[in-house]
Structure formats: structure tokens, C-alpha cells
Amino acid sequence: MIEWWQALLLALLQGLTEFLPISSSAHLLLPTLLMDWPDQGLAFDVAVHFGTLLAVMLYFRKDLLTLSVQGARCIVEREMNDGGREIFFLAIATLPAVLVGFFLNDYMDSLRTIPVIATTTIVFALALGFADRRAGTASQDAVAGAGSAFLIGCAQALAPIPGTSRSGITITAALLLGLSRTAAARFSFLLSIPVISGAALLKTLELLETGSVVPWGMLLGAGAFAALSAYLCIAAFLALIERIGMMPFVLYRLLLGALLVVIWLA
């Protein structure tokens, strides 16, 4: 069982890395590798997933309300509008991740090794850097069509591979499809809501089946800490992304990948 201070540090890492394009799986592996921490456990995973889900839903609460109203209007009036179209695109983009999660989830867990995480951290850093170089002239402020949404969804389907970064791979795909940095990040974050919701639900059901004793105080604290750090991270990222671009995250990922390679070969 992890200690309180360990739980808070891991919750901070989860909150910060869930939405930055730097891979949460790589960061959550480091304390175990470098400091021999015990596994945080399934209950902790559930708590921090709900925390990050709460953060992204709170930040985009106005967008979600608008989408809900326009989606309902689209059904009643039987006429497509901007909100209904975006909901449709988000649904299309979610489908590949659902299929991969259903059929390959157990296999993906077997890939949580240093060589895999080091490789994906570096490879997808280079992909993000390439996409960001092309984003300078991008002018699209929304996904253009169902085909683009599906391609972003196919990119997201790679996210369960440890070290990939869900936000990183979806932002990379969106940038390559011509979206601006802000539009790419916004679509990526909205797309995280059904994915995180599904993951949190599955982990909750798995936890209930185990019948384990749950340290509620620690979990509530970790979930709240993850929510706060994730909310602040989303706000800062969207405020700065057009100004700083993706290169700081690319360089960070390359350094992290190099560190993992050193650990791997040591």
C-alpha cells in the first residue's frame, strides 16, 4: 500500500500528464523504477481517473452544455447543426478506441516495459514535432468532416500502447489534418471525456469484483488532487499553446525517452 504523500505525488503526475502530450504511463512508471514504490493499486487508478474526468468536464462545461442543447435540438428538428455535427464527429472518433479497448486491452498491459515506453516516447515525440512544424499555416478551427474525425480516432486507438500519450497522438493527428493548435487540443480534450469515462467505469467494475478494502480518505484526496492539477494544466496549456507551440513538449519527451533508454541499458 502506498503512503499518503506517495498517493498525492502520483495524483499530481496523473493530473498533469493526462492532458499534456507527454505520456502519463511513462511518468507513473518512473517512481516504481527509480524509487521502488509499490504498485498504487486498482482503487487508486479509479480515483485519479474520476478526478481527471471531473476536471475536463468542469473546464469545458459551457461547451458541453452548448453541445447538449444543440444535439437535442438536432434530434427534435431533424436538422443537423454545428453542435450535432461535433457530437457525431466525437462519436466517430471514439469508436476505434472502444474496439481496441474491448479486444486488445489485456495485450496492451503486457507492453508496460521500459523498452516499449522508451521507444514510443521518442518516436511519437518526433511525430508530434513534425506535425507541429506543419501547423504554422493551419487555419481550420474545427474538424472538417467524418473522415478526419475517424482518422483522429484511429490515432487515439494507439494510445493504450504505453508511452504513446492519448492527448499527444490525437493532437498530432489533428495537426496533420490541418487544425490549428488550439482546435486540435480542444478536440483532443473533448474526445478524452468518453474515453476516460469508459476506462473509469471498467476499472470500477473490476474493483467491485475484487471486493478489496478501499482506503476512502486517501482515494478522495488523490482524486481531488488529480482533478485540481488536471484543471490547471488544461487551462495553462490552452492559454499558451498558440504562443509556445508543441516543441517544448517534444524536447521534454526526447529527454524522458533518453532517460528511459539509459535505465533500460544500465
The 3-state DSSP class for residue 142 equals: coil
pLDDT of residue 65 exceeding 90: yes
Distance of alpha carbon 146 from alpha carbon 177, whole angstroms: 12
DSSP 251: H
The pTM is what?
Answer: 0.93
pLDDT at 1: 66
Distance of alpha carbon 51 from alpha carbon 11, whole angstroms: 9
pLDDT at 137: 61
The 3-state DSSP class for residue 157 equals: coil
pLDDT at 138: 59
pLDDT of residue 32 exceeding 80: no
pLDDT at 72: 93
What DSSP letter does each residue of 52-102 carry, written as one string? HHHHHHHHTHHHHHHHHHHHHHHHHHT---HHHHHHHHHHHHHHHHHHHHH
Residue type, 201: L
Distance of alpha carbon 208 from alpha carbon 42, whole angstroms: 10
Mean pLDDT taken over the chain: 89
Convert the pLDDT of each residue in 107-135 to its tens digit: 777 888 889 999 999 999 999 999 998 87
Convert the pLDDT of each residue in 184-235 to its tens digit: 999 999 999 999 998 888 888 887 887 766 787 888 999 999 999 999 999 9
Residue that wins the pLDDT comparison between 79 and 34: 79
10 Å CB burial of residue 159 (0-12, 13-18, 19+) is buried
CA distances from 187 to 91, 148, 253 (A): 12, 12, 22
Distance of alpha carbon 58 from alpha carbon 70, whole angstroms: 19
Convert the pLDDT of each residue in 134-162 to its tens digit: 876 657 888 989 999 999 999 999 998 98
Q: Over range 232-242, report the average pLDDT.
A: 94
CA distances from 114 to 19, 90, 122, 160, 162 (A): 22, 32, 12, 15, 9
Distance of alpha carbon 158 from alpha carbon 169, whole angstroms: 8
CA distances from 178 to 137, 139, 143, 151, 188 (A): 8, 7, 9, 12, 14
Instruction: List the beta bridge partners of residue 140.
Output: 179
